Amino acid sequence: MSVRVRFAPSPTGPLHIGGLRTALYNYVFARQHKGVFILRIEDTDQTRYVEGAEGYIQECLKWAQIEPDESPMHKGEHGPYRQSERLSLYKEYVQKLIASGHAYYAFDTAEELEQKRAEASANKLHFSYDSSTRNGLRNSLSLSADEVNRLLSTNTPYVIRFKIEPDQQISIYDEVRETVSVSSNTLDDKVLFKSDGMPTYHLANVVDDHLMEITHVIRGEEWLPSLPLHHLLYEAFGWTSPTFAHLPLILRPDGKGKLSKRDGEIGGFPVYPLGWKEIPGFKESGFLSAPLLNFLALLGWSTKSDDEVLSLQQMSALFSMQGIQKAGARFDIEKLRWFNQQYLQGLPDDSLAEHCLAFSPELKLQSVECIIGALSLAKERLVVPQDLYNEHRYFFAAPKEYDQKAASKQWKEDSSKLLNEFLRQCEKTAYTQEELEACLTTFSETSGIGVGKVMAPLRLALVGALKGPSVYALMHYLGKDEVVKRVAKASSTL
């Protein structure tokens, strides 16, 4: 059987980067095995449904260039791909479980169950709806057939629960966790069908995975506690389980707990691929999709390759379940910034210029040639595209203010005189980097002063601070007239 995997998010809000990583692992695994990657929308919990979330999820996958082969927007033979459009299937299959004795009707009201919990709590016990309590509750196992039929015929509200047999040792192999063993005595009789006529995640998930012929279930660690129940459901239906792999959590930067939206707010970084309502995502913050995927791929998975910078094709070729770690992976925004920097440096200048323009409207006043010229000097320093204007504004406009600490130390009483004398020497040159450097060397020797006595105040005049590329390169880029203007302004100001 060919590999078929799925990413099955719920449209209850924006996609977290942990979800994007899950989608990525499924995608590269499918591509490696020439298989099929499916997007299934698990929208049976209507109380938590958020308008626009499904479209947002699809846009995230499109932006990340890991679009599915089958989805609500990419029709296939195993649809529909929204669970809300598959309700008749779940009703059919839950009835099969009732007929085989693996599930039962439960008519207990919320108030009755709450009373049971309160009674147990009063005796310092924990109430669980399971083999030890179900015969004393209102369900089709404890009531007579006539009473059950009467309750059903009068439309008495009910749920359908899965019947867990006691004293069973359940063992399942997980590709990441290896053998997972659980006693059935620790499991309760989970609800499979709710009183509102909608299936729970457990039933719908298992039925869909079987009918969609999913061969491998690659999902987050938070679903590991559900694995024994899902295994028992497969057995109850007489189906073969897919291969399971539960991915480690993405942890907060300090490694203490799962990464959340709040951590992003505190740390000043996004946690969503795209912007959601008023919250910017990685895209809006200047991160490209390729380095984000590269970063996420190595956040819980390691490769035998020494290369860290990997394309999507390389990830697909190298990916293996054996490389997935069990422990949670700490989110490191600085590492992601490094990845983004590497990818920006690899872009052609015209493509990078377009990115910079998109993030800095102020650059629209500049010619493309001017922007590309600035990139030739600042490209290696860019972490996100907006850095070109935000951090290197001096390429496009004279500084409006100067670093006072640097000025007090480097701008001397004779700085204006020395700079103007040096610039007069440069007037006869072609203003190339080589000739400017030679001119300063000659000026320094004939004047009997150190090069730094000219270089530091000159940089301060051109940039406004003691930073930036080579002064000679910057002078060449700005041109003779602009350099003279900037030195004159600094002289009058400082």
Residue 73, classed as helix, strand or coil, is coil
User: 433 and 478, same structural domain?
Assistant: yes
The reported pLDDT for the residue numbered 438 is 96
User: 478 and 414, same structural domain?
Assistant: yes
In a domain? residue 183:
no
Report the pLDDT averaged over residues 343-364: 95
Report the pLDDT averaged over residues 125-144: 96
pLDDT at 66 over 80: yes
User: 383 and 357, same structural domain?
Assistant: yes
In a domain? residue 77:
no
In a domain? residue 232:
no
In a domain? residue 483:
yes
Can you give the residue range of the structural domain that contains 464? 404-493
pLDDT confidence band for 469 (50 / 70 / 90)? very high
Specify the higher pLDDT residue, 306 or 474: 474
Angle between helices 471-478 and 480-493 (to 10 degrees): 110
The reported pLDDT for the residue numbered 306 is 81
The reported pLDDT for the residue numbered 73 is 94
pLDDT at 45 over 90: no
The pLDDT > 70 percentage for the chain reads 100
Q: Could you report the per-residue pLDDT of 67-122, keeping only the tens digit for each?
A: 999 999 998 999 999 999 999 999 999 999 999 999 999 999 999 999 999 999 99
Number of other residues whose CB lies within 10 A of the CB of residue 414: 12
pLDDT confidence band for 46 (50 / 70 / 90)? confident
User: How many separate domains does the chain show?
Assistant: 2
Give the residue from 374, 395, 416 where a domain finishes: 395
Give the separation between CA 449 and CA 90, rounded to whole angstroms: 87
Give the residue from 395, 415, 434 where a domain finishes: 395
In a domain? residue 451:
yes
User: 445 and 385, same structural domain?
Assistant: no
User: 489 and 409, same structural domain?
Assistant: yes
pLDDT confidence band for 235 (50 / 70 / 90)? very high
Contact 52, 19 (CB under 8 A): no
Rounding to the nearest 10 degrees, give the CA dihedral for residues 109, 114, 119, 122: 180
User: 364 and 410, same structural domain?
Assistant: no
- Residue from 354, 341, 332 nearest 287 by CA: 341
User: 381 and 415, same structural domain?
Assistant: no
User: 425 and 477, same structural domain?
Assistant: yes
The reported pLDDT for the residue numbered 361 is 93
The reported pLDDT for the residue numbered 304 is 81
In a domain? residue 476:
yes
Tell me the CATH number at 480: 1.10.10.350
User: 391 and 414, same structural domain?
Assistant: no
Q: Could you report the per-residue pLDDT of 436-468, keeping only the tens digit for each?
A: 999 999 999 999 999 999 999 999 999 999 999
The reported pLDDT for the residue numbered 121 is 96
Q: Could you report the per-residue pLDDT of 407-425, keeping only the tens digit for each?
A: 999 999 999 999 999 999 9
Give the residue from 395, 421, 456 where a domain finishes: 395
- Write down the mean pLDDT value for the chain: 96
pLDDT at 254 over 90: yes
* Residue at 260: amino acid letter: S
3-state SS track over 444-472: HHHHCCCCHHHHHHHHHHHHCCCCCCCHH
User: 454 and 420, same structural domain?
Assistant: yes
Positive or negative: CA dihedral 422, 427, 432, 435: negative
Instruction: Assess whether 304 carries a catalytic annotation.
Output: no
Q: Could you report the per-residue pLDDT of 171-213, keeping only the tens digit for each?
A: 999 999 999 999 999 999 999 999 888 999 999 999 999 999 9
Rounding to the nearest 10 degrees, give the CA dihedral for residues 124, 126, 130, 135: 30
Q: Residue 397 carries which DSSP code?
A: S
pLDDT at 1 over 80: no
In a domain? residue 224:
no
User: 424 and 358, same structural domain?
Assistant: no
pLDDT confidence band for 381 (50 / 70 / 90)? very high
User: 439 and 380, same structural domain?
Assistant: no
In a domain? residue 354:
yes
Catalytic residue among 261, 335, 379, 453: 261
